[in-house]
Amino acid sequence: MLKQTIATAVVLLLSAVSADAQYFGRNKVQYDRFQFAILETEHFDIYYYAEERSAAEVAAQLAERWYERLSHALDHTFTRRQPIILYASHAHFTQTSILPGNIPEGVGGFTDHLAGRVVLPFAAGLGETDHVLGHELVHAFQRDILRKQGRSLSLLPLYATHGGFARVAALGLGENALQALGQGILAGPAALYLFAFSIQTIGVARAAVFPATVPALTILIGWLLLGEPPTALQAAGLVTVLCGFYLAQRQR
C-alpha cells in the first residue's frame, strides 16, 4: 500500500513538472512579422523597420550622444558596435522573441545581457525614448565593462543596475561637483568638524541647540539662494526657532 502511494505521488509530481515545462516552453503569440533593416553608426548597429528610417536616424543620434556622455563618465569604450533593436510601438515590442517569456506591463525596454542587445520601442514622446535608451545603454556599458574583466553583472549594487549611473551622468560635471561639495563635504565631514569645534568652544549645552536650527536654516537658504519664499506657517516656524536659538545662547 505504501509503495503504491509513493508511486502515485511520483507520477503526479512528474506530470505537474512536465505540464509546467510545456507551458513555459511554449512560444509567445506573435501577430506580426517584422522585417528589420540595419543603420550602422560609429558605435551602434540600429535595427529598425524600413518605414521608420527617419525615426531610427533620430534614435541613432540620441544613442551616439549617450555614448559620448557615458564613455566619458565611465572611462570606457566599446570594442565593437552595440546592437540596438527598435520597435515602432509598445504592442510590437511585447511580441519580441528575444525574451522567451511575456514582458510585464510598464517595461519600457530591456538589455539582453547574454548577447548585449538593447531592445526598446519608440515611446509616445522623444524625451521618454531618450530616457529609456540612456537607461539601457548604461546596462550595456556595465555588461561590457564586466565582460572584459571576466565578471558577472550580478556583482553590481542594485542602485547601479537600476539606472543610478544614468541619472548621475545626465546631471553633468558641474551639477555632480556641486552635489559632491554640498552633500559629500559640507553636509558630511565639514559639518561634523564644526559641530565638534562648537562643543569644544561654547560647551555641550549651547552646541546642542544647533541641530534644532537645521529646518529653519533650510527654509532660509532656500529663500535666499533658490528664490523659494516660505509659506506663512514656515515663516512662523522660522521666527520661533531663531528666537529660541537666541534665547538659548543668552543663557549662562
pLDDT tens digit sequence for 176-218:
788 788 778 887 888 888 888 888 888 887 777 778 778 877 8
> Alpha-carbon distance 230 to 175, whole Å?
25
> Alpha-carbon distance 82 to 197, whole Å?
54
pLDDT of residue 156: 57
Q: Which of 59, 183, 178 is nearest to 122 (CA)?
A: 59
Tell me if 49 sits within 8 A of 109, measured CB to CB. Answer: no
pLDDT of residue 84: 94
> Alpha-carbon distance 59 to 132, whole Å?
11
Cell numbers 531618450 correspond to 130
Q: Kindly report which listed range (153-167, 187-201, 225-239) carries the lowest average pLDDT score.
A: 153-167
| Buried/exposed code over 1-28 (b: 16+ C-beta within 10 A; e: otherwise) | eeeeeeeeeeeeeeeeeeeeeeeeeeee
Tell me if 47 sits within 8 A of 84, measured CB to CB. Answer: yes
| pTM for the predicted model, two decimal places | 0.50
> Alpha-carbon distance 43 to 67, whole Å?
8
Query: What would the pLDDT profile of 54-90 be if each residue is shown by its tens digit?
Result: 889 999 999 999 999 999 988 899 988 999 999 888 8
pLDDT of residue 18: 40
Kindly tell me if the per-residue pLDDT of 24 is higher than 50.
no
pLDDT of residue 57: 92
User: Dmax over Cα atoms in the chain, in whole Å?
Assistant: 91
User: Which grid coordinates belong to 216?
Assistant: 529653519
pLDDT of residue 2: 45
Q: Kindly report which listed range (26-40, 79-93, 101-115, 235-249) carries the lowest average pLDDT score.
A: 26-40
Confidence class for position 42, pLDDT limits 50, 70, 90? very high
Tell me if 151 sits within 8 A of 158, measured CB to CB. Answer: no
pLDDT of residue 221: 82
Confidence class for position 154, pLDDT limits 50, 70, 90? low
Going by DSSP bridges, is the β-strand pair 44-49/117-121 parallel, antiparallel, or unpaired?
unpaired
pLDDT of residue 7: 46
Highest mean pLDDT among 10-14, 36-40, 121-125, 195-199: 36-40
Averaged confidence pLDDT in the chain: 77
Residue ranges of domains in the chain: 36-162, 173-250
Distances (CA, A) of 201 to 139, 193, 196: 51, 12, 9
Is 36-162 CATH 1.10.3470?
no
Kindly tell me if the per-residue pLDDT of 243 is higher than 70.
yes
> Alpha-carbon distance 199 to 211, whole Å?
12
In the chain, what percentage of residues exceed pLDDT 90? Answer: 13
- Please compute, for residue 74, the number of CA atoms within 13 A of its CA located in the half-sphere on the CB side: 27
